[in-house]
Amino acid sequence: MRYIPTTPEEREHMLRVIGVRSVEDLFADVPEAVRLRRPLRLRPALSDPEVVRLLRSLADHNGHADRLTCFAGAGAYDHFIPPAVWQLVGRGEFLTAYTPYQAEIMQGELQATYEYQTMVCELLGMEVANASMYDGASALGEAVVMARDLTRRDRVVLSQAVHPEYRQVVRTYTEPLGIRVVEWRHESGLTPPDPRAVDGSTAAVVVQHPNFFGCLEDVRAWAELAHGAGALLVVACADPLAFGLLEPPGTLGADIVAAEGQPLGNPLNFGGPYLGIVATREQFVRRMPGRLVGATVDRHGRRGFVLTLQTREQHIRREKATSNICTNEALNALAAAVYLSLLGPQGVRQVAELCVRKAHYLKSRIAELPGFHLAFPGPTFHEFVVRTPRSGEALVRALAREGFLGGVPLGRFYRGFRDALLVCVTESRTREEMDTFVAALERAVRRGRRAVGGRV
């Protein structure tokens, strides 16, 4: 039997020591009425080579980013991952370890997490960060609940320019707790600060920066507005590499940041596992969900690291816990730390700058194409919205046939945006790829016009 080392003789020996005749005796307390008395109807077991063959075949039936040059973002980004990241993170000592509850033999994981917490704070300009949550969307849900707990108010203003799936998750987390979420409309791709948005019952204002459309929100002004009304500012972020170049949310006045860490050394992986980053001010740390690693000393005065402030967590506080989270995304956080270590301050700046420059180039080239224009004025980071002469979905399909994942069609997320694409350019895209992409766009439109009725 696969992965079970026990031989029939060893089995007999164990049964004798236990004092029963057969393995069946060990299940005697399972009521007969619930015993499964037929074989499981599962697919036949495969040998290792057969498993590899099958999985390869399933993998081959996918249009991945080595086949379709990736111009899609929207919460999942094709940044270059230095090979050292997964060579290190994939080591069995990290991969097959458990949560570091026995600190003395897990100093590796604990120290790496302490370092990760530090790097996240530095990148986001915040004072304290937790050891990770599931993803950016659920991190945002938990951040909103945290803001409610801190202010004891139950109204939240949520910018419509926050990632649509993040907003859905915020609703799922807040609805059972009676927290009212008010969505604030975007105008021209932005949600500019509006005093009508906040009042004395507002726990938090939530904006994404750079937002879902790639545009840069006026975070500073929102911070002032929120604080003036006694509310907190929660900033969501789908690609924290932006802050290699841009002023980070902490410096702009954010009280809680909920970010997606996938862009930091984690593969696209068809949407998961990703990395939820939560960071906040020191004064709020006791209300922050998730694990925290702290530095301390051992009985010989040596520096060491432990999980700390655990009394916030479910295994101690139970129904009074700040969250129910137990398992997190530790390995993905480790990958982020290794990635940030390799890049350093100059590296993250360089990546961010390349993103901006390349995105600008593609933006200008597409804007020149007949039938296309930029949806929103104003500066963007590495994503931008293009109004298209054909439906976004049809265009993406046509572009796939030419070897591109052309962007994310916005029709299913925003009304009136059926003819629009969200296009992303990371540092991984070359000028040649972009020029070929533009030519493909042109062809796709010409072909579309020739289609019957002109509507595709």
Q: Distances from the Cα of 220 to the Cαs of 232, 243, 251, 404, 406, in angstroms?
A: 12, 15, 9, 37, 33
Per CB under 8 A, the list member of 8, 17, 450, 455 interacting with another protein is: 17
User: What residue type is assigned to position 94 of the chain?
Assistant: F
Instruction: Identify which of residues 49 and 416 has a Cβ nearer to another protein in the complex.
Output: 49
> Under the criterion CB under 8 A, does residue 45 sit at the interface with another protein?
yes
182: left (phi over 0), alpha (psi -120 to 50) or beta: beta
The two tokens of residue 292 are 């925290």
By CB under 8 A, name the one of 8, 21, 44, 195 that touches another protein. 44
- What span, in angstroms and rounded, lies between the C-alpha atoms of 110 and 301? 18
Please say whether the beta carbons of 126 and 220 come within 8 A: no
308 vs 436 by CB, closer to another protein: 308
Q: Which is nearer to another protein, 33 or 452 (CB)?
A: 33
Helix (H, G, I), strand (E, B) or coil at 320: helix
From candidates 21, 41, 196, 415, binder to another protein by CB under 8 A: 41
Pick the piece of the chain touching another protein (CB under 8 A) from 196-204, 368-376, 396-404, 446-454: 396-404
Does position 293 interact with another protein (CB under 8 A)? The reply is: yes
d(CA 432, CA 67): 16
Q: Which of 199, 283, 295, 377 binds another protein (CB under 8 A)?
A: 295
Please, which residue, 123 or 198, has the CB nearer to another protein? Answer: 123
Site residues for another protein, 81-120, by CB under 8 A, read 82, 84, 86-100, 102-109, 111-115, 117-119
**Nearer Cβ to another protein (230/272):** 272
Binding range to another protein, per CB under 8 A, among 175-183, 199-207, 222-230, 442-450: 175-183
Assign 222 to helix, strand or coil: helix
Residue 112 or 445 with smaller CB distance to another protein: 112
Contacts (CB under 8 A) with another protein, residues 182-221: 216
- Residues in 356-395 that interact with another protein by CB under 8 A: 356-358, 360-361, 379, 393
Positions in 302-331 near another protein (CB under 8 A): 302-306, 308-321, 323-331
How far CA 15 is from CA of 19, 22, 146, in Å, comes to 6, 7, 52
Cα gap 224→216, rounded to integer Å? 17
Beta strand 373-374 with 383-387 is: antiparallel
Closer to another protein by Cβ: residue 135 or 198: 135
d(CA 136, CA 138): 6
Q: What is the CA radius of gyration of the chain?
A: 26
Residue 452 found at the interface with another protein (CB under 8 A):
no
CB atoms near residue 116 (< 10 Å)? 29
Residue 264 touching another protein (CB under 8 A)? no
